[in-house]
Amino acid sequence: MSDTFIDPSPANFQAFKDLPRDEPIHMLNLLLYRDQAEYPEGHEHHGNGWSGRRAYEEYGRTSGPIFQRVGGQIVWRGAFQCMVTGPEDMRWDDGFVAQYPNAGAFFEMIKNPDYQKAVVNRTAALVDSRLIRFKPGKVGAGFG
């Protein structure tokens, strides 16, 4: 498997912070779960014996109210079926697009102390992930 990613690098996070903060954003999330969640020292009691998927569900349950409070919503969700274009050995378990009213809402969410507690489950759940910011565009019948 190629390099794996759970959290943004400092350079990538700085690039995110340098983009406009006052316009709607879409965040594409691609998730590959661990077979067994892996918690850091001192957090074993949270999800001892949980699967990665179960730990991610707990992350969603505990972070969801904060996500909603900042104006976030899921605008697309899907379960991976196959790679059509891309590395044949790359696969994901789930994907979704989270919409935020603006980047400031995303920052408000991740700075929330309750969110920071919840994100332990996300980190324990995933063996690999991608989080990609998009500026929402026009939707309709055409590709262009």
Class of domain 21-134: alpha beta
Q: Does 1 score more than 70 pLDDT?
A: no
Does the predicted model carry a pTM greater than 0.85?
Answer: yes
Token pair, residue 123, equals 């980190």
- Long-range contacts of 36-44, Cβ-Cβ distance < 8 Å, separation of 24 or more: 37/121, 37/124, 37/125, 38/124, 39/120, 39/124, 40/120, 40/123, 40/124, 43/120, 43/124
Residue spans per domain, the chain: 21-134
Tell me the pLDDT tens digit for each residue of 44-92: 556 678 999 999 999 999 999 999 999 999 999 999 999 999 998 889 9
